[in-house]
Structure 1
């Protein structure tokens, strides 16, 4: 009886630690990538048969579809320009430009890969074709829980989030197009919990 009890305890510890370590590895992979441009990261091989096992497991966990090689590429940003994690209680300003692409989209996701709720009647994602731009084709986007004039991506609730910028039909998805990319800066403006404003 004692042997059976010790065996059950050992198996419980093994499965518990194994599951925890796998979850930690997937969370680390979710914030990483083989290409880094400022605060943005991407894995160009995520949609290819050569993707590593962790990338495949992450896609299976979130249930999100990924783009194949040549279809496009998704860049993820979980931190602002100062290195602080993106928080739904803060307001951010994205400014700059994107690489050449037929279309691109910008959306916010939680740690489980689910689209962050924008709130009723609010914009939950932005598409390049509907964006207001400056004369030099650059743009600014406000990401915040409170309404903003101009291009605004709404986020609601609490906790961290990740911005995902997906470029479709773009030279940036090829190995030769990844060398000199420019992506928007992400600057935090205000945070509700810090009492410095109401973003």
Structure 2
């Protein structure tokens, strides 16, 4: 599997796959602002990508950010496209946003989605008080997310504890900083998630 830094360099922009490191001068996109590979630094600037190339690049960016395999990502897209009367772009982002591992990250419990995935997979996540170890678990409005006592006392949480106390979660997540819980208070506001051109992704799968 390609390293997180190479994925960002290939995309030509920061995808923030390594948490805090992405905000430092150590970020690979800052140190090596060119594609990976032997000839990466000598590649000439290419002409504008084709329509298909743009769709593929956007799809790969979103898939990599959520750490999904192609078949997993395709399942989300197919479900969003199959909803009658609904905007497929909004439904796709909504479903991805409400994944348990994503909410653990968005709530500020951990510095990256990859760590959030591990935390959930190792059985440290609780949904409404019940242990849930499936990263893709789909949360709903009203669900309360917390973490195990073992994780809260771990070095990982101790490192991020001060940051968590000051963390500003998205408007659809309400944090109780004292109890260290996160509550889904509304559906995600996908309209303002403008870092991706989701329509290109839908168009990519519509033609395959």
**Larger relative strand fraction:** 1
Which protein has the larger Cα radius of gyration, Structure 1 or Structure 2?
1
Relative contact order higher in (CA < 8 Å, ≥ 6 apart): 1
When normalised by structure 1's length, the TM-score is 0.31
